[in-house]
Structure 1
Amino acid sequence: MARVRRTPAGRTPTAWRALLALAAATLGLSLCLALGPGIAPADAACPHAYAHPRQVPLPKIRKAITCLVNKERSKRDRPELNPNRMLGRAAQHHDETMLAQDCFRHRCKGEPGISRRVRKTGYTKHERAWRFVEDLGYENTPRQMIGRWLHSPINRHRMLKRDYRDVGVGVGWGAPVAGQDDSRFVTYTIVFAWRRP
């Protein structure tokens, strides 16, 4: 007597394969939509990495850029940077000065250079040695700003330098350049530093 193979509900093996392929495609699409367009899994761990100007408050933009910097450093086996309020004050003051004067430079009119700005905050008080540098930029999202810095050899070197331990971030709405559409940009000043007693 010949045996007859039956499939449940009368479906053929080809129909089952098609159904499984559809289920897999649906699951993949759901995961893509959950992460959002163009968001890499590493960026998903940094809330607001893709926030556009005024979508979220500036403190969240500051946290996003700090998180992204540390993600890039971690990928290259560099130590994580600790947010420092004193460096943050120096960076924020410069950011506000650049925006007020439409001055996209490390030193604007009537302003001390980075060395005096950082020292005034007390960051170097009672320390024997220290070093700090700053990166500037303006972009549409924190992720785009990180991308721009990574494509600049000098900015990339500063961001990823192994010696740095602390970071301060200044952020402000707009671009520090006359004629730019301020609604499209956030301006960033980021100070990287180390100090030793």
Structure 2
Amino acid sequence: MKNMLLIGGVVGVLLVLIGLGGFFGFKFYSELAAYRELGPLQSMQNFSQENFDLQKENKRLKQDMAMIQSGFANYRKARLEQAEKRAERRVATAVASFTPLSGPYVLAATTTLDQQELCQDTQDLIELEAELFTTSDPTVVMQQDKICGTYIERKLIPLFKYQMLRARVSMSGSLGHLRDDAEKKFEDARSLLQRWQVPVAPELDSYTQF
């Protein structure tokens, strides 16, 4: 009886082992079949390398985008600060440009500065594009030359000179007492321009002497 039980136990253990072996064998075969569906080992290695390269490229693109965003944010901040200052300056100088006699003096100085700032803005924009995108468009350079080559003071100074010559003639003789008022107007105009850091061409300033 004991022998029968022992034999039965051994057979049971063998059946369990056979069952487990079959289960793990089937699982291994399934996994092997799945790997075979993926392709040969070389293909898997190539896929792994391509995936690594793509991840590396994606990281580089994210870094480039972060640099572009940072560069544009700095550019925008600087331009907005300048625009705010220019807007306040234009209000003050535009009002002063309506002052009799000294108004054209203020207008000529501020308009010349506006043109110079427009040229600088163009140069900054081109430099920002080159820094962020490493591009260079010949047509843009031609536009820059056209903008920066507009020397508006060469047209305004002769007009101001002609006006001042007429004013000096009109203040001769019995109207000489108007010179004090005219000189006061130009003193106020100079103070205004200095306060807003508007440079005045020496030639322009020379025609304000009576």
> What is the TM-score with the length of structure 2 in the denominator?
0.25
The structure that is helix-richer by fraction is 2
Q: Which protein has greater RCO, CA pairs closer than 8 Å, 6+ apart?
A: 1
> What is the TM-score with the length of structure 1 in the denominator?
0.27
